[in-house]
Structure 1
Amino acid sequence: MINDEYFLAALRLASGNDPIPGHVSAAARDAFGLRVPRAVTAVPAEWAATRGVRGAEGPHMVRFVAAGLTFDLEVTVGDGLIDVAGQVCPAPAEGSHVDVRTPHLTLTRHLAHSGQFAATGLPPGWLSVVCHRPGQAPVQTRWVRIRP
């Protein structure tokens, strides 16, 4: 059953008599600005990782997969900040790099020959990693929310 107040608000919005609040429009523009054109999105994958698994207080392990790449991320929260240690497999070609992103901060890291990278001191909240490879479309992880 549709709530009458919700229905009337939807009608006002559709008729143009109830403008979209400025903060909603600003949030939509900010979210649109976070997109990576032509990027392939890596999705979370099941990971039966027994190595490096820690207790509830330790790092959180997460894996993303797309376009022949696997992102393994170890996320640690300490002192209210986030540290990310990651590896892209197989290791991309020379000249590849990753952007470790939050909505308000991007840290660019060159990949080691093994595909490893690290970023420290990130604010808690939403996080995504984008791998840039010469001559190929970028591959980005889905946004994940990391809470302290």
Structure 2
Amino acid sequence: MINDEYFLAALRLAAGNDPIPSHVSAAARDVYGLRIPQARTAGPVECAATRTSSGTRDDDGSHLMRFVTAGLTFDVEMTVGDGLIDVAGQVVPYPGEGTLVDVKTPHLTLTTRITHNGQFAATGLPPGWVSVVCHRPGHMPVQTMWVRIRP
């Protein structure tokens, strides 16, 4: 059953009679600023290693996730400890010499070179939203979907 007050408020908003709250506009601008122009997005997939498409949380507080896009797979483990997040992962197939990986939060980006077998790590991130971006020389960046990690 639809709440009458909610329904009337939605109609007023749709008719343009209620302004968009300033915090909603500010949040939209902030999110837009997080985008990476021309990046391809790797979405979560279900696999035996991660057991679910949204990842699992083990007893030790780690989250295992797999993200896939045409040509690249990201296996990512996010571990929460002492109120901070550590991220470790692997990009397969090996994306090549000179590849950089950004581990991003809305307010912090840690950049690291990928190892010869596609591995990367970043430590000491604040809890909240996290995304991984792979920058391969000569290719468009590939970014995982944002996931929210809580302590």
CA contact (8 A) 2:61 2:81 kept: no
1:81 maps to a residue whose letter is L
2:137 counterpart residue number: 134
Instruction: Specify whether residues 55 and 8 from structure 1 end up closer, same or farther in structure 2 by C-alpha distance, changes over 3 A only.
Output: closer
2:106 pairs with 1:103 = yes
2:69 pairs with 1:66 = yes
SS of the counterpart of 2:122? strand
Cα distance in 2 between the residues matched to 1:22 and 1:107 = 30
1:12 counterpart residue number: 12
2:38 counterpart residue number: 38
Q: CA RMSD in A?
A: 2.0
User: TM-score if structure 2 supplies the norm length?
Assistant: 0.87
Cα distance in 2 between the residues matched to 1:31 and 1:37 = 13
Instruction: Specify whether residues 68 and 6 from structure 1 end up closer, same or farther in structure 2 by C-alpha distance, changes over 3 A only.
Output: same
Q: Aligned match of 1:147 in 122, 135, 150? A: 150
Cα distance in 1 between the residues matched to 2:14 and 2:143 = 35
2:25 counterpart residue number: 25
Report percent identity of matched pairs: 77
1:89 maps to a residue whose letter is V
1:3 counterpart residue number: 3
Aligned residues: 146
Alpha-carbon distance, 1:77 to partner: 0.7
Q: Which runs of 5+ in 2 are unaligned?
A: 51-56
Cα distance in 1 between the residues matched to 2:58 and 2:70 = 31
Alpha-carbon distance, 1:55 to partner: 4.8
Q: Which runs of 5+ in 1 are unaligned?
A: none
2:120 counterpart residue number: 117
User: TM-score if structure 1 supplies the norm length?
Assistant: 0.89
